[in-house]
Structure formats: C-alpha cells, structure tokens
Amino acid sequence: FSLYSKSVQDSFVISVQLPDNYYEDTKTKYPTVYMLDANFHFPMLASFVKQYEKGGLLPPIILIGIGYKSFELMDSLRLRDYLFPAALPSDEIKSVGGGQRFYDFISNQLIPVVDKNYRTETNNRSLLGHSFGGYFPLFTLLIQAEQNESIFRNFASADRKSTRLNSS
C-alpha cells in the first residue's frame, strides 16, 4: 500500500509479508520487522524469512518494507530520508538531513497504521537497514535514548566493505 507522509511530504510504498498461519491463528500477535530500502531488499529478505519460518529457524514475524515509488528514485530519496544532520558545505555527500522527518513518519504514522491493521506485538519491533539505510537504525537508537522512547526494541545496521584486488 502507499502511505503519504505529512512530515516528509512524500509518499512511501509499504510492503507487508504476514506469517504463513496468520489467517488461521486469529489470536496470536506477532513481532514486526521494519526494513528500509524495500525496493531492493524486500523481495530477497521476504523469501528468506518464509523459508526460515517454514524450517523452524525463525519465529513467525510480520515483515514491513518501507520503499519508494520506484527503484530509480530510491537512490536519491534515501539520502534525503536516512541521514541526519544536514551535510556541511565541505562534506563529500550533499544531504538535506531529513532523518528526523523520516523518523517522525515511521513512529507517528506508519507504526500506528500497521498496529491498527495487523496483530502486532507492540513491544517487539525491529528496525533494519543497510548502508545509508544502516545509518538510520543507529540514528533511531540515539533518538530513542535521548527521548527515553522504546518504539523499536531491536536494531540491525549493516554495511559492506568493498575489497579491491590489484594484480600486477
């Protein structure tokens, strides 16, 4: 579904994957995992989550992907949304520092919509991201610590280190 963010002033595409037995077991509430860069990562991670759930290697979860209108827009808009504060003129990357607005969208709009429409464990949410998307969970952790909030219980922040092999 698409959700317009009042704080970011843009729409996000939200992907949802429910546990296999979600509709058969109508009383159970599930942990939620919120994932950034859903245009790229959601199809792959959703498949892993399903297989791990079926194999008993992962408890059933509700996977929520936060994405953009298109894959092409994702690259520039993630700079707008995942970074904070705004870049200095001397910085290598130009960023408007919209992380706080994106955090406000997730905590004040998206999570209430998800909690209203799905059976969620409201005290068991995770946030995960990669690269600039990995910076945002760390930023969120700091916000929660400063504001004494506990919107997310778990955080996963990943990045890759590229290695170049030189041959002579």
pLDDT tens-place values along the chain, 168 residues long? 999 999 999 999 999 999 999 999 999 999 999 999 999 999 999 999 999 999 999 999 999 999 999 878 887 788 889 888 766 667 677 777 788 999 999 999 999 999 999 999 999 999 999 988 888 999 999 999 999 999 999 999 998 765 445 444
First to last CA, the chain: 52
Q: Which residues contact 148 (CB under 8 A, 6 or more apart)?
A: none
Global pTM value? 0.89
How far is CA 70 from each of CA 36, 77, 78, rounded to the nearest angstrom? 14, 10, 12
* Among 19, 26, 4, CA closest to 58: 19
Q: What is the pLDDT of residue 71?
A: 77
Taking the C-alpha atoms of residue 126 and residue 77, their distance in angstroms, rounded to an integer, is 22
